[in-house]
Amino acid sequence: MSDAKLQICSVSKAFDGKVVLRDVDLDVGAHDAVCLIGSSGSGKSTLLKCVNLLVDIDAGEIHLDGEVITDRTVNPNDVRQRMGIVFQAFNLFPHMTVLENITLGPVKVHGTSRDEANETARALLDQFGLIDKTDEYPDRLSGGQQQRVAIVRSLATRPELMLFDEVTSALDPELVAEVLGVIRKLKYEGMTMVIATHEMGFARDVADQVCFLDNGVILEKGRPAEIFRNPQQPRTRQFLQRIVEAGRL
């Protein structure tokens, strides 16, 4: 038994016969940040959704703190309460203010009192420079602000683990930094994170481990310096070469 916070063991998943994940193994240590890189459709998003139990896996097991979470007898709502996930498209609730978005989970799921939830939410908003947006509706915010609110919304339930699914892919380039800044801050505070991203510079800086996914398989994983400077697999080299050519690394 390893002491990893999150353990993904031989996970496979197919949608309508098309294999999306094949025998994926991954250990994420407590306080570690693991970055998943790879082209679109390589299975990064699906892997995160499997961890959050939004997608059922076909084979394998996922453990959180050594306990199986992918068993049928486990209540997915209990598992989801312990982790946060942030999506590419923000997915804020448009009919609620920023404050209501953030307090929904704590109040309805965790049974926190309205006052306490509001207080926690305000403290988080303040911490991430969003306090003046407390009573705004999401459509009044920029993409970067919406995404930061989405991250705060996840943090408000005090997760032990955060999952980020290409959270900057839908943003204008000048808004990317403010969102990545939030994630860096979380890393500094010791949050355990799995981050699917196309931002290679960010992955190199922040990750303890980088995994290169290709066609549903983890082709290569290691410390960022190893993966980015000295990739072993031809597919990894090819992928990184294209990123360099695109001026993204």
Binding site for other proteins (CB under 8 A): 52, 54, 76-78, 80-81, 84-85, 87, 89, 91-95, 104-105, 108-110, 139, 153-154, 157
Cα–Cα distance for residue pair 108/54, rounded to 1 Å: 19
- What is the smallest separation between the CB atom of 46 and other proteins, expressed in angstroms? 13
How many Cα atoms occupy the beta-carbon half-sphere of 208 within 13 Å? Answer: 16
Pick between residue 7 and residue 157 the one whose CB is nearest to other proteins.
157
- What is the smallest separation between the CB atom of 52 and other proteins, expressed in angstroms? 6
Closest CA to 196 of 16, 41, 55: 41
Pick between residue 104 and residue 249 the one whose CB is nearest to other proteins.
104
Question: What is the enclosing helix (H) or strand (E) of 125?
Answer: helix 114-127
Pick between residue 158 and residue 198 the one whose CB is nearest to other proteins.
158
- What is the smallest separation between the CB atom of 108 and other proteins, expressed in angstroms? 6
For residue 27, the 8-state DSSP code is: E
- What is the smallest separation between the CB atom of 64 and other proteins, expressed in angstroms? 14
Pick between residue 58 and residue 205 the one whose CB is nearest to other proteins.
58
- CA 107 to chain CA centroid, nearest Å: 23
How many Cα atoms occupy the beta-carbon half-sphere of 190 within 13 Å? Answer: 2
